[in-house]
Structure 1
Amino acid sequence: MRDYKGYLIDLDGTIYKGKIKIPAAKRFVEQLQARKKDFLFVTNNSTKSPEEVATNLATNFDIHVSPENIYTTALATADYVADLDEKKRTVYPIGELGLKQALLDKGFRFEEYQPDYVIVGLDYDVTYHKFELATLAIKRGAKFIGTNADTNLPNERGLVPGAGSVIALVECSTQQKATYIGKPEPIIMEKALKKIGLSKDEVIMVGDNYMTDIKAGINFGIDTLLVYTGVSTKEQVAKMDVKPTYELDSLDEWSFDE
């Protein structure tokens, strides 16, 4: 196992599982902190701010990190569109406060009729009217951005619609595909790497889901660590053409080489 300078880490299924603690994950994070390793939690969740994510980790899982250690797909989306064209600063978003605040923090203004961008993420109060405004704006020429393609989210009731399901409706109504930002796309990885300030060969992507976390690392060309505490199983991964760099049953098995 290589001695990486930085760790890009998934949250749900890797650091916790829903509302269930993963004790090895807490120990893993504390090892990173003790060894002064750079790390960034990279999550497809666009609904929460970094402050909210950090508070949840501290309150419910006794994992204490700074909001600066959190990189959401909302932040990645805002960073991506901010870098496209400095003259284009109007957006129509469908999403929760986490996404809207990230866009406001980058200097974007909200515009319903003729925005430069339509950005769609998970919205717990989405309405037909919001879909209507998004569709018409895209038809008028707005660039169509999707936070992430996750079709479902697991919760205590089962698999409920995710951001990808919301985005798919707009794709259907506009007959256009969105530009996706979140895992497994390389865009979020590129922005996360820029934030952590390291090179590709200095970091590793850690996650529980081969189809999002590990494929994000593979697509971006960095090493990957799959831990079997969440979504993917050994039987599923055995069928994949490209394997993770490392596979572990628990993060306790990770060796920090000096």
Structure 2
Amino acid sequence: MNNNHKIKGIIFDIDGTLILNGQPLSGAIETITLLRKAGILLRFITNTTVKTTEQLGLSLRTLGFDIQDNEIMTSVTACLQFIDKNYPDQAGFLAIPATLAPQFTKIKQTKDNPAFVVLGDLDEAFDYAILNQVFNYMRAGTQLITFHRNLYFFRENNTWLDSGAFTLALEKATSQKALVTGKPAPEMFDIAVASMGLNKNEVIVVGDDVLTDIQGAENAGLTGYLVGTGKFKPEQLNEYHISPEHHLHNIEDIWNILGIDG
């Protein structure tokens, strides 16, 4: 694909693309290292909310990845930027895990008619009381802000229900749409491209989730490549009209896309 010699940057999903169940996927560490040697700019985006960019960077480097903190963007950092821009003087209600609280210290909070609700990954802390509280805020006109729409995630070699499932339920019950700051919304992709100083036609996206990574790339006007690891299922190729040239059997196939000898 000769026209891909102009690719100067790649945005990678992390979980399911580089790592799975806390361990590097085959060829992932080596691929990142070789891409750096080839002069390709890299960014790493994730809907994970349980770790800060600094914690993510440390864990990835501990596994052997050559990845810096400032190259990582999360749905939480995108959320904070959105609130700062759109609700600078208003107070909201935070339904987020305690681990995220330090990142939200500058956000004004209230339980009385909040302008917005941030719904985070509460995991086992999700219960009827908190969901009903958010439901009634939304019915009164409060804007629901969520980090992502992920329906499930991988942990301890099993799949776990994610907060996106509760977001969908709240939207259905209130006939309102949540504002999503993570994938597949375009905000995080746009921030990643801008941080590289590149044009969108010089950047591609690589991920395992056809709904968040590939649809997110499309929403942001970027070209996505679906890798056959993590959440990937073969039937998705036909179901979502993924052409063979936009499907990577594994991450090492990226060299065929770039037209570089890996």
Q: Does 1:188 align with 2:188?
A: yes
**Corresponding residue of 2:126:** 126
**Corresponding residue of 2:113:** 114
One-letter amino acid matched to 2:77:
L
For residues 80-95 of structure 1, what are the structure 2 equivalents within 5 Å? Answer: 80-88=82-90, 90-95=91-96
CA distance in 2, matches of 1:154, 1:45: 11
**Corresponding residue of 1:32:** 35
CA distance in 2, matches of 1:165, 1:181: 16
Cα shift at 1:74: 0.9
Size of the alignment, in residue pairs? 254
Cα shift at 1:157: 5.5
Q: Secondary structure in 2 aligned to 1:109? A: coil
CA distance in 1, matches of 2:166, 2:93: 15
For residues 237-248 of structure 1, what are the structure 2 equivalents within 5 Å? Answer: 237-241=237-241, 243=243, 246-248=246-248
CA distance in 1, matches of 2:119, 2:167: 6
One-letter amino acid matched to 1:96:
P
For residues 18-29 of structure 1, what are the structure 2 equivalents within 5 Å? Answer: 18-29=21-32
Could you tell me whether the CA contact under 8 Å between 1:135 and 1:170 is conserved in 2? yes
Q: Does 1:62 align with 2:64?
A: yes
CA distance in 1, matches of 2:245, 2:222: 9
Could you tell me whether the CA contact under 8 Å between 1:47 and 1:95 is conserved in 2? no
- Distance change >3 Å, CA 238–CA 132, structure 1 → 2: closer
Identity of aligned residues (%): 24
Cα shift at 1:257: 4.5
Q: Does 1:77 align with 2:79?
A: yes
Q: Secondary structure in 1 aligned to 2:241? A: coil
Give 5+ residue unaligned stretches, structure 2: none
RMSD: 2.5
Give 5+ residue unaligned stretches, structure 1: none
One-letter amino acid matched to 2:83:
V
Pick which of 134-143 and 226-235 moved more. 134-143
**Corresponding residue of 1:232:** 232
Could you tell me whether the CA contact under 8 Å between 1:189 and 1:217 is conserved in 2? yes
- Distance change >3 Å, CA 132–CA 80, structure 1 → 2: same
Could you tell me whether the CA contact under 8 Å between 2:29 and 2:66 is conserved in 1? no
For residues 200-211 of structure 1, what are the structure 2 equivalents within 5 Å? Answer: 200-211=200-211
* TM-score between the two structures when normalised by the length of structure 2: 0.85
